[in-house]
């Protein structure tokens, strides 16, 4: 069995960010290989860049020899190229992409001019489909008809299937914007049609994200073509009506949204300036992907609802486990504890050692696990960077306008860069008091311990630290 996650548009990229953190933490409910693909005309999107960075770090972490019996970094991933796939190219308008000059003054051309406004036809699409799914549908259909995408994405899918694999494909995007709303049904239908020879060995699911944020554009953007949050509900109603009236192209559909729209701090049409903070809805959507991958491939369709206990509060008991054989809470909290222990206990020591301000003999765990390892190597640098990025992502999740998200105590995030401002918080970082404080973690690191012989180098040390953070 193999799995393919396809993010579509900016919301899809943010869901992929949550999924990547879950995989790194070892909460993905399988040991099978996960393939990752992204479709977005806004290749410079800040949210996509942040997700790409997390993915690239994960690719590095897969080379860490942490031991075959560890859940840490256990899920092997492969990023399909190009990443992301850009269906528009650079500095292209809708007129360019559908070759309008060939149809001008013809009946088809006149129909096209009736269906699309001059602004829709003449706006460059470097920053996406601007909340207009009709533009995206035309562009994506044209690309598929021309066969350009199948030379990349489907060729790689067919290679996986050609090796006899069973493949579960999951699409993620919004139904209220442009790229996701256009891409979800179009790509699912074309996958069905072009992979019909493998119909008994594929299953296609999707998370359709409903509105969950809003924004107020500044005056300088008012003349531009962009998604408008006041149209989100109308767009969503039209999208859901479409799905209800068409043959069901998905084996499983998940709907996730929020009736309280969270205001976006800084509005951006797209590109690098679009760096919206992580949101609890995206975490739920990532769990939808995990749930789909954990289901039997030909499972019967069921209807389930996920509710949270308190209207204005989200906590661990409100999150569904993707599979029944492990606790999402236990694994994720241990990983968070591991990251905070690394940032508070280990990272400062490594910095002092590199600077020559400390002696190695004072740190038995360094002598046992890290002696001879280049502390300025890219592996160590990448992990340092990722640890800070993970804490920043957690902090964003815990910040929800007017409501409380309590997964990890928000007091843990008061320092930037991350640092434990109160050591007492460590023993109860998810609200459950334990006997594991930072002194106990330090003590465990110095004790002799037998680790899987396949664990080596920096990976072996990370494994030892992770195991030391178990309650």
Give 255-309 as a DSSP string: EE--SSPEEPSS--SSGGG--PPP-HHHHHHHHHHHHHHHS-TTPPP-------S
Which of 8-22, 129-143, 236-250, 391-405 is predicted most confidently? 8-22
Query: How many other C-beta atoms lie within 10 A of the C-beta of residue 431?
Result: 12
Q: Which of 38-52, 189-203, 455-469 has the lowest mean pLDDT?
A: 38-52
Cβ neighbors of 45 (< 8 A, separation 6 or more) are 10, 13, 127, 128, 270, 271, 272, 274
Q: Rounded mean pLDDT of the chain?
A: 82
Given a cut of 70, whether residue 231 has pLDDT beyond it is no
Region of residue 324 (left: phi > 0; alpha: psi -120 to 50; beta: else): alpha
In 3D space, the residue among 317, 333, 309 whose CA is nearest the CA of residue 403 turns out to be 309
Nearest CA-CA partner of 418 in 382, 389, 439, 383: 389
Name, in order, each residue with C-beta under 8 angstroms of 446's C-beta and a sequence gap of 6 or more. 364, 365
* pLDDT tens digits, 46-77: 677 888 888 888 888 888 988 888 888 888 88
Coil/strand/helix, residue 315:
strand
pLDDT for residue 270 = 45
Q: What are the Cα distances from residue 296, in Å, to 35, 197, 284, 379?
A: 18, 20, 20, 37
Which of 187-196, 261-270, 428-437, 454-463 has the lowest average pLDDT?
261-270
Residues 371, 460: Cα–Cα separation, whole Å: 12
Q: Is the pLDDT of residue 220 over 60?
A: no
**Choice among 78-87, 110-119, 125-134 with the minimum mean pLDDT:** 125-134
Stretch among 33-37, 125-129, 232-236, 459-463 having the lowest mean pLDDT: 125-129
pLDDT computed for residue 143 by the predictor: 64
Percent above pLDDT 70 for the chain:
86
Q: How far apart, in whole angstroms, are the C-alpha atoms of residue 230 and residue 410?
A: 32
Q: What's the token pair of residue 213? A: 């944020």
Cα 422–Cα 425–Cα 430 angle in degrees, nearest 5: 150
Given CA atoms 228, 231, 235, 236 in this order, what sign does their dihedral have?
Answer: positive
Per-residue confidence (pLDDT) for residue 393, from 0 to 100: 92
pLDDT grade for 340, boundaries at 50, 70 and 90: very high
Domains and CATH numbers, the chain: 2-88+125-306 (3.40.50.1440), 329-468 (no CATH)
Structure tokens that stand for 333 in this block: 């909290």
Grouping H, G, I as helix, E, B as strand and the rest as coil, residue 457 is helix
Lowest mean pLDDT among 176-185, 188-197, 425-434: 176-185
What is the full DSSP assignment across 17-67? HHHHHHHHHT-SS-SS-EEEEEE-S-TT-HHHHHHHHHHHHHHHHTTS---
β-pair partners for 35 = 4, 78
Alpha-carbon span 49 to 43, nearest angstrom: 8
Tokens of 32: 């099978």
Cα-based angle 290, 427, 324 (whole degrees, multiple of 5): 25
- So what's the pLDDT on residue 272? 46
What is the pLDDT averaged over residues 252-276?
71
At residue 382's C-alpha, the angle toward residues 381 and 384, to 5°, is: 65
| Structure confidence by residue, pLDDT tens digits, 416-428 | 777 777 888 899 9
pTM for this prediction = 0.86
pLDDT at residue 161, as a whole number:
85
Tens of pLDDT, residue by residue over 274-329, are 567 889 999 999 999 988 998 887 777 767 777 778 888 898 888 886 555 457 78
**What pLDDT is stored for residue 221 in this prediction?**
47
């Amino acid at each position: 069995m193999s799995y393919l996650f396809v993010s579509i548009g900016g919301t899809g990229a943010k869901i992929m960010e949550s999924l990547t953190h879950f995989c790194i933490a070892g909460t993905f409910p399988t040991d099978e290989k996960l393939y990752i693909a992204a479709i977005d005309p806004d290749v410079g999107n800040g949210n996509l860049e942040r997700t790409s960075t997390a993915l690239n770090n994960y690719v590095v972490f897969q080379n860490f020899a942490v031991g075959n019996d560890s859940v840490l970094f256990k899920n092997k991933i492969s990023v399909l190229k190009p990443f992301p796939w850009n269906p528009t190219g650079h500095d292209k308008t809708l007129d360019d992409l559908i070759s309008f000059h060939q149809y001008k003054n013809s009946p088809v051309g006149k129909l096209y001019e009736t269906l699309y406004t001059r602004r829709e036809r003449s706006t460059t699409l470097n920053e996406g489909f601007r909340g207009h799914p009709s533009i995206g549908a035309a562009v994506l259909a044209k690309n598929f008809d021309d066969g350009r995408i199948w030379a990349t994405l489907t060729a790689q899918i067919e290679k996986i299937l050609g090796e006899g694999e069973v493949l579960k494909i999951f699409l993620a995007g919004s139904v209220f914007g442009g790229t996701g709303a256009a891409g979800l049904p179009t790509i699912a239908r074309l996958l069905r049609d072009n992979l019909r020879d493998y119909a008994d060995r594929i299953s296609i699911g999707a998370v359709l994200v409903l509105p969950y944020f809003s924004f107020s554009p500044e005056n300088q953007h008012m003349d531009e073509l962009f998604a408008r949050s006041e149209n989100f509900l109308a767009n969503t109603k039209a999208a859901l009506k479409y799905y209800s009236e068409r043959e069901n192209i998905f084996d499983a559909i998940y709907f996730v949204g929020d009736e309280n729209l969270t205001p976006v701090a800084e509005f951006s049409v797209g590109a690098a300036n679009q760096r919206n903070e992580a949101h609890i809805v995206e975490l739920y959507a990532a769990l939808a992907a995990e749930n789909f991958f954990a289901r039997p491939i030909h499972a019967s369709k069921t209807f389930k609802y996920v509710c949270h206990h308190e209207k204005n509060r989200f906590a661990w008991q409100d999150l569904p486990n993707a599979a029944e054989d492990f606790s999402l809470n236990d694994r994720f909290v241990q990983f968070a504890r591991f990251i905070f222990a690394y940032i508070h206990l280990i990272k400062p020591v490594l910095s002092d050692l590199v600077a020559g301000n400390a002696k190695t003999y004072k740190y038995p765990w360094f002598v046992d696990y890290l002696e001879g390892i280049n502390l300025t190597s890219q592996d160590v640098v990448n992990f340092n960077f990722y640890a800070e990025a993970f804490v920043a992502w957690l902090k964003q999740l815990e910040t929800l306008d007017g409501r409380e998200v309590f997964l990890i105590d928000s007091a843990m995030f008061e320092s930037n860069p991350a640092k434990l401002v109160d050591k007492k918080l460590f023993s109860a970082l998810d609200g459950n008091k334990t006997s594991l404080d930072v002194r106990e973690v330090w003590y465990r690191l110095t004790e002799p311990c037998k680790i899987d012989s396949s664990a080596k180098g920096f990976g072996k040390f990370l494994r030892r630290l992770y195991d030391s953070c178990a309650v």
